[in-house]
Amino acid sequence: MTAPSDTAVRRSGRITRIPWFDGLQFFLLVGGLIYLAVAGASAFNYNWQWYRIPRLLYREVDGEFMLGPLIDGLFVTFELSAWALPLSIAVGLITALLRRSDSFAGRYLASGYLQVIRNTPILVQVYIFYFVVAPIFGLSPFWACILALSFHEGSFTAEIFRSGIESVPKGQWEASDSIGLTRYEKYRHIVLPQAVPLMLPPLTGQVVTLIKHSSILSAVAIFDLTTMALDLIAETFMAFEIWLTTGAIYIVVTGTLSIVVGLFEVRIRRRGAR
Amino acid sequence: MSNAEPMTRARPPARRRLKVTLLDAVLIVAAVAFVAYLVYRVNAYLVYHWDWGRLLQYFFYYDPDQDQWVANLLIEGLLITARTSLWAMVFASIFGLVMGLCRVSHVALFRMIARGYVEFVRNMPPVPFLFILFFFVGNQLLKPLELTELAQAAPPYVQDVIVLLFGELNLLRNFSAAVIALALYEGAYITEIVRAGLLSIERGQWEAGDSLGLSRTSQLRYVILPQAVQRIAPPLANQFIQLIKDSALVSLISIQELTFMGNEIAVSTTRFFETWLIVAAMYFGVCYGLARLFARMERRMNRGRM
C-alpha cells in the first residue's frame, strides 16, 4: 500500500506545488489585465464612478442601517436557490428510482423527462414555465421560476443519484439478494449507506450550479441579483462598475461554496479510503 | 447451500418482459389525470384558442414579389443559432486546447493561468459573465478594430462571403463579441475535457517518449495528443450540444438567434403558448438529433478500434 500511494503523492505533488516566482508572475499578469481594462475604459473617456457603488450595497439613513438593491437581489437569489434545492433533489431522486424500477411506465416517464430537459436550453425552459405553465396552473412568477429551476437541476441530480447507486459493486447487490432481503431492506441497509457518501459532494456542488443558473431567471420578471444589476445599469449607466461589483459578489459566494464543497469531498474521500 | 435443497426459489434470470405492475397502473392513471386536468385548465378555464396555423408562416412565407417561398424569422433564427454555435465551438476548442495543455504543463505559471480561468468561469453565473465580456470585448477590444468599416470597404463578393459566414455587416461587432464571450465560457469546460483526455494517457507513453529522447513538445505532438484526441472527441461532441443550448443566452445580448426570434414572435402575435412550444421543439429536434448522431459515431469508432 505504501509504494503506490507514495508515488501518487509525489506525482500529484509535482503538479500542485507552486513556486513563489510563478505566483508572482501570475499576480503581475492578472494585475496587468486589470490595468489594461481600466486604461482602455479611460481611453474612451469612461467616467468611473466607484464612489456611487457602496450606496447600492448598503445605506445609513438617520443612523439606521439599510440594505442596498444589490444585496436585496442577492437575498432573492438565495431564496430561489433555497426553494429549488430540495425540490430538485426530490425530482432527481424520483427520476432515478423510476428509471431503476420494474415499471415500464415509470422508465418511459423518467427517460422522457430527462431527454426533454437535456435537449432544450434552460432559457427556453424558463420561458415555457413562465409564459406557458404559470398561466395554465395559475402560478405566481416566483414559483414558476422555482419550478423551472427545480426541473432543470433535477436532471442533474437524477444523474448524481444514478451514478451513486450504480457505483455500489454488483457483489453487494447479489449478497443482499442471497440473504433474502426485500427491495426496501436492500436499499435501506446495503445500497444507500454506501452510495450516499459518494453522492453528497456532487449534491452540495449543485448549490453552486443552482446559484449560477438562477441568474438566467433575470430574463423574466424576477428580482434576483442579475436583474437588479440590469435595472441599476439602465438607471445609472454605470455598466462597468455595476457588472464588476455583481460579478465579484457572485464569485465570492460561489467561490466560497466551491471551496467548502472541495474540502468536504477530500474529507469524504479520505474517510472512504480508510 | 447444500445440494440436497431444492432450487425452486431460485428466480429465473432477469428478463426485460412487458409486465404491468401496480406502479405502472398508478403512474398511467396519474399521467392521464394530469393531461386531462391540463386540457381542462387550458380549454375550460383559460378558454385558450390554439392557433398553430398562424405560426407556420414564421417558418416560411410566400413572397408574391419574388414569386417564391422565403425563410422567415424562425428559420432565420435557427440559422443564426447554427452560425453562432459553430463559430463559438471553433474558438472554444482553440481556447480549450491551449488552456488544457497549460493545465498539464510543467510550468507553474501556465498551470495557474489555466486554473484561474477555469475556476473563474465555473464560479461565475453565465448571464453576468456574458454581459461583462460582451461589454469589455465589444467596447474595448473590438471597437478599435472597426470590423464593420473594414468589411464595408471590402469588394462586394468578399462582402457576400462575410454575410454568409458572419451575418449582417452592421451587426458584425456584436456578433463577434457574442461569439467570443460564448467561446470563453464554453472554453473552460473544454479545458477540463482536454485535461482529462491528456491525463488519461498512461504514464508509460510519456516515459516511452522520454526514453526515445523526444522533447516534451514532440512527446505531446507525436505520442500523447494522437491518442488523447480519440478520448477527447466524444465528450467534446457532447459539449457542442451543450454549447448550442447555451447559445440561447446570447439572445439576452440582442443576438437575433432562435430564442430572440421566439421572443419577438411571441410578443408580436401574443401566441405565447404555441411560439414557445415550437421553439422548444426546434431546439429539441436539433439537440436530440445531434446526440443520436454522435452516439452512433462513437459506437462506430469504438467498433473500429476493436
Is residue B199 a part of any domain in this protein? yes
d(CA A187, nearest CA chain B) in Å: 18
Task: Tell me: do B125 and B95 sit in the same domain.
Answer: yes
Task: Tell me: do B41 and B82 sit in the same domain.
Answer: no
pLDDT of residue B72: 83
Distance between CA B151 and CA B155 in Å, rounded? 8
pLDDT of residue B7: 45
For residue range A155-166, list pLDDT tens digits in order. Answer: 999 999 999 999
> Which chain A residue lies closest to B288 (C-alpha atoms)?
A119
Provide the number of CB pairs (under 8 Å) joining chain A to chain B: 168
Distance between CA B285 and CA B290 in Å, rounded? 8
For residue range A185-200, list pLDDT tens digits in order. Answer: 998 899 888 888 888 8
Is residue B17 a part of any domain in this protein? no
d(CA A193, nearest CA chain B) in Å: 25
Confirm if B121 and B95 have CB atoms less than 8 A apart: no
Least trusted range by pLDDT, from A35-39, B92-96, B269-273, B291-295? A35-39
pLDDT above 50 (res A6): no
Please name the member of A132, A137, A213 whose beta carbon is closest to the beta carbon of B272.
A132
- Contact between chains at A127 and B276 (C-beta distance less than 8 A): yes
Residues in A touching B140 (Cβ below 8 Å): 37, 40-41, 44
Is residue A61 a part of any domain in this protein? no
pLDDT of residue A41: 67
Q: How many domains does chain A have?
A: 1
Interface confidence (ipTM) of the complex: 0.85
- Contact between chains at B128 and A215 (C-beta distance less than 8 A): yes
Confirm if A103 and B27 have CB atoms less than 8 A apart: yes
Task: Tell me: do B49 and B179 sit in the same domain.
Answer: no
Task: Tell me: do B275 and B205 sit in the same domain.
Answer: yes
Q: Please count the CA atoms within 13 angstroms of the CA of A38 that sit on its side-chain side.
A: 9
What is the CATH classification number for the domain harbouring A226? Answer: 1.10.3720.10
What is the CATH classification number for the domain harbouring B220? Answer: 1.10.3720.10
Q: Which domain holds residue B31?
A: 22-54
Is residue B139 a part of any domain in this protein? yes
pLDDT of residue A204: 85
Is residue B231 a part of any domain in this protein? yes
Residues in A touching B38 (Cβ below 8 Å): 136
pLDDT of residue A58: 79
Confidence of residue A13 (pLDDT cuts 50, 70, 90): very low
- Contact between chains at B120 and A101 (C-beta distance less than 8 A): no
Task: Tell me: do B144 and B182 sit in the same domain.
Answer: yes
Task: Tell me: do B85 and B45 sit in the same domain.
Answer: no
pLDDT of residue A146: 95
Is residue A184 a part of any domain in this protein? yes
Is residue B269 a part of any domain in this protein? yes
For residue range A42-57, list pLDDT tens digits in order. Answer: 666 677 777 777 877 8
> Which chain B residue lies closest to A233 (C-alpha atoms)?
B131
Task: Tell me: do B132 and B173 sit in the same domain.
Answer: yes
Residue A119's region, left for phi above 0, alpha for psi from -120 to 50, else beta, is alpha
> Which chain B residue lies closest to A22 (C-alpha atoms)?
B109
Q: What is the average per-residue pLDDT within B204-213?
A: 90
Is residue B212 a part of any domain in this protein? yes
For residue range A127-143, list pLDDT tens digits in order. Answer: 999 999 999 998 999 99
Task: Tell me: do B78 and B41 sit in the same domain.
Answer: no
pLDDT of residue A10: 42
Is residue B173 a part of any domain in this protein? yes
Q: Which domain holds residue A203?
A: 70-273
d(CA A63, nearest CA chain B) in Å: 33
- Contact between chains at A244 and B111 (C-beta distance less than 8 A): no
Task: Tell me: do B36 and B148 sit in the same domain.
Answer: no
Confidence of residue A2 (pLDDT cuts 50, 70, 90): very low
Task: Tell me: do B34 and B110 sit in the same domain.
Answer: no
Please name the member of B123, B136, B140 whose beta carbon is closest to the beta carbon of A208.
B123
Confidence of residue A40 (pLDDT cuts 50, 70, 90): low
Q: How many domains does chain B have?
A: 2
Mutation for testing the A interface, residue in B19, B131, B192 having most A CBs under 10 Å: B131
Q: Please count the CA atoms within 13 angstroms of the CA of A98 that sit on its side-chain side.
A: 23
Q: What is the average per-residue pLDDT within B52-63?
A: 83
d(CA A242, nearest CA chain B) in Å: 10
- Contact between chains at A119 and B291 (C-beta distance less than 8 A): yes
Please name the member of B128, B141, B143 whose beta carbon is closest to the beta carbon of A229.
B128
B228 C-beta neighbours (distance < 10 Å), count: 21
Mutation for testing the B interface, residue in A97, A116, A136, A240 having most B CBs under 10 Å: A136
Q: What is the average per-residue pLDDT within B277-305?
A: 91
pLDDT above 70 (res A15): no
pLDDT above 60 (res A16): no
Distance between CA B116 and CA A31 in Å, rounded? 13
Write the CA distances from A174 to A11, A164, A170, A217, A260, integer angstroms: 37, 17, 6, 46, 36
Residues in B touching A132 (Cβ below 8 Å): 272-273, 276-277
pLDDT of residue A17: 55
Is residue A151 a part of any domain in this protein? yes
Task: Tell me: do B37 and B142 sit in the same domain.
Answer: no
Confidence of residue A18 (pLDDT cuts 50, 70, 90): low
Confirm if B125 and A218 have CB atoms less than 8 A apart: no
β partners of residue A59: A66
Is residue A17 a part of any domain in this protein? no
d(CA A66, nearest CA chain B) in Å: 25
Task: Tell me: do B49 and B164 sit in the same domain.
Answer: no
- Contact between chains at A102 and B19 (C-beta distance less than 8 A): yes
- Contact between chains at B128 and A132 (C-beta distance less than 8 A): no
pLDDT of residue B286: 96
End-to-end CA distance of chain B, in Å? 41
* Average of per-residue pLDDT values in chain B: 86
Residues in B touching A25 (Cβ below 8 Å): 109
β partners of residue A58: A67
CB burial of residue B155 (10 Å; 0-12, 13-18, 19+): exposed
Is residue B60 a part of any domain in this protein? no
- Contact between chains at B124 and A30 (C-beta distance less than 8 A): no
Confidence of residue B15 (pLDDT cuts 50, 70, 90): low
Confidence of residue A224 (pLDDT cuts 50, 70, 90): confident
d(CA A62, nearest CA chain B) in Å: 34
> Which chain A residue lies closest to B273 (C-alpha atoms)?
A132
For residue range B160-203, list pLDDT tens digits in order. Answer: 888 888 887 778 888 888 999 999 999 999 999 999 999 999 88
d(CA A272, nearest CA chain B) in Å: 23
pLDDT of residue A274: 52
Mutation for testing the B interface, residue in A38, A70, A104 having most B CBs under 10 Å: A104
Mutation for testing the B interface, residue in A124, A126, A152, A224 having most B CBs under 10 Å: A124
- Contact between chains at A104 and B291 (C-beta distance less than 8 A): no
Extended strands (E) in A35-134: 58-61, 64-67
pLDDT of residue A1: 37
Q: What is the average per-residue pLDDT within B213-240?
A: 90
